[in-house]
Amino acid sequence: MTNKVRGFPKDFIWGCATSAYQIEGSPLADGAGPSIWHRFTHTPNRVTDGDTGDIACDHYRRYTSDVDLMRELGMQAYRFSVAWGRVLPEGTGRVNPAGLAFYERLVDRLLDKGIQPMATLYHWDLPAALDDRGGWLNRDIAHWFAEYSEVVFRKLGDRVKYWVTLNEPWVVTDGGYLHGVLAPGHRSAFEAPLASHNLMRAHGASVQAYRALNLKSPIGLVVNLEPKYPASQEAADLNAAKRAEAYMNRQYLQPAIHGSYPEELQDVFGEAWPKLPSQDFDLIKQKLDFLGVNYYTRQVTKNDPSVWPVRASGVKQKQHTHTETGWEVFAQGLTDTLLWVKNNYGNPPLYITENGAAFFDPPQVEGDTLEDPLRVDYLKKHLRAVHAAIQQGADVRGYFVWSLLDNLEWAFGFSKRFGIVHVNFETLARTPKASARLYSKIIETNGAALFD
Ligand code: FCB
């Protein structure tokens, strides 16, 4: 039941999210195989200040106190990712029991503290051994991913409450295969659609493996969605917004749910758009129990032939606040996005699997609490936007703030802080920020504190 004026649905789930490479540290411990992110961060000039995930938040060794902290903050659920290379150091074949045992200890600790585990199987840290075999460009990866998924499902399937196959396939290909700013750092319009397609085939194969085991927890896919509002009503801008939306948002939802690709992709990729076997869509299109939506910002889109290959770019909205990653703060876009998914993809159960903001935090005085007013404001606005979407009929069942901890923000290294908990990267001390205290209150009142 939803309290029409203020509340969220009574079984709404409030949690926080992280990912393996960004927080764990000890990337090669206990027999783990290196990932493409280990390689990437250890390549000169790829990551700001040469930062690496060698230590990160040291969560691999501090997970017990981190779970205790989540408990103190009142978290009801925790979204983490499993590092493929800890479980299968070569990506396929030999299982590494010590790596799997880490996630088993984590899950048991969470359950012990009354926190529901949501496990993501792929949050960008492909085993380097598989990259050597072509990575996401090799069609066999659908089988490799299903094999790895099955190992994890068999071990943790009785305890994990929600499963996610992939995190943000768009970022994997746009950053990793088209523009080369994320691992593995390729730059090819010919590779990108193939990598995307194989990601979606791997997603399908993983869901099939899950269904074959008859496990009961829901399984879904996480996409990052950014609404594209045309900068004007001119045909050129309207078309640019359509191309951008097809490229970023529909490229993954449409095959997963409707079994086809948006027409505009042919126009975006031109001769680089591949011929794809039509039977692949039988694998890609699997029944999903929910969709995870990661939302950070919007784009006001204009036609821009200089931007390869989508020929569209954003118009900066100077009247609005921007975060440290340069993203416009625009909460209405979250309501619009949730309603767009509801209307175009059959009103699926939804979780906001990531939402948050990087801001400079003021320097901390010893013993002081840490005030982060911009993040507090961001959180309030976006949670109200979620509430508005629920009032308008979107089936949103939970929210996971990104992120529990300041962490390694990929190619930005530690220079961008997204945590509601501050991490001192010298001492590794954790200090909850004002946003964490606010979030605790929101959780405790099931959202009513947002309207005080
Ligand atoms: C998302 C990623 C997450 C984090 C946030 C800021 O694209 O899934 O790991 O980097 O952005």
- Which pLDDT value is given to residue 196? 98
Point out the catalytic residue in the list 150, 168, 328, 409.
168
Separation of CA 16 and ligand 1 centre (Å):
13
pLDDT, residue 365, reads: 63
What does the pLDDT read at residue 419? 98
* Predicted model pTM: 0.98
Say if CB 239 and CB 303 are below 8 A apart: yes
CA–centroid distance, 420 to ligand 1, in Å, is: 14
Looking at residue 6, the DSSP 8-state letter turns out to be S
Average predicted confidence (pLDDT) for the chain: 97
Q: Is the pLDDT of residue 2 over 80?
A: no
Residue 295 has pLDDT above 50, yes or no: yes
- Report the pocket of ligand 1 as residue ranges, CB < 6 Å: 19, 22, 167-168, 171, 224, 294, 354, 402, 409-410, 418
DSSP state for residue 405 in the 8-state scheme: B
Confidence of residue 6 (pLDDT cuts 50, 70, 90): low
Q: What percent of the chain is predicted at pLDDT more than 90?
A: 96
Q: Is 354 a catalytic residue?
A: yes
Q: Are 53 and 437 spatial neighbours (Cβ–Cβ below 8 Å)? A: no
- From the CA of 81, how far away is ligand 1's center (Å)? 12
Tell me if residue 314 falls in helix, strand or coil. Answer: strand
Whether the per-residue pLDDT at 103 is higher than 90: the answer is: yes
How many angstroms separate the Cα of 200 from the Cα of each of 2, 21, 141, 350? 35, 22, 10, 19
What integer is the mean pLDDT of 230-240? 98
Probe target for ligand 1 pocket from 23, 48, 168, 412, with the most ligand atoms within 8 Å of CB = 168
For residue range 319-372, what is the model confidence (pLDDT) as tens digits? 999 999 999 999 999 999 999 999 999 999 999 999 999 998 877 666 667 999
pLDDT at residue 317 tops 50: yes
Which atom of ligand 1 sits closest to the CA of residue 168?
8
Main-chain phi, psi angles of 399, to 5 degrees = -145, 130
Distance 324 CA to ligand 1 centre (A): 14
Q: Is the pLDDT of residue 452 over 90?
A: no
Using CB atoms within 10 A of its CB, is residue 306 exposed (0-12), middle (13-18) or buried (19+)? exposed
d(CA 226, CA 329): 12
Catalytic annotation, pick one of 24, 150, 264, 354: 354
